[in-house]
Amino acid sequence: MKKAAFASCLGGGAAGALVLFFLDPVHTPIYPVCAFHRLTGLDCPGCGSLRALHALLHGHPVTALHDNLLLVISLPIFAWLGFRFASSQIQGRPMETIRPIWLWLYLAAWLAFGVLRNLPFQPFASFAP
Ligand SMILES: [Zn+2]
Domain span at residue 37? 2-127
Which stretch of 41-55, 68-82, 112-126 has the lowest confidence by average pLDDT?
112-126
- CB-based contacts of 53: which residues, under 8 Å, 6+ apart? 17, 20, 64, 71
How many Å lie between the centroid of ligand 1 and the Cα of residue 63?
17
Cα–Cα distances in angstroms (integers) from residue 34 to residues 43, 87, 102, 125, in the given order: 9, 34, 26, 19
CA of 38 from ligand 1 middle (Å) equals 8
SS3 content of the chain, % helix, strand, coil (to 5): 65, 0, 35
Say how many Å lie between the CA of residue 129 and the centre of ligand 1. 10
128: pLDDT strictly greater than 80: no
Q: For 43-66, what is each residue's pLDDT tens digit? A: 999 999 999 999 999 999 999 999
Condensed to tens digits (0 to 9), the pLDDT of residues 22-39 reads 988 988 889 988 999 999
Q: Report pLDDT digits (tens) over 94-117.
A: 888 889 999 999 999 999 999 999
Q: Ligand 1 centroid vs 86 CA: distance in angstroms?
A: 29
- What's phi and psi for 99, nearest 5 deg? -60, 135
| pTM for the full predicted model | 0.82
Domain count, the chain: 1
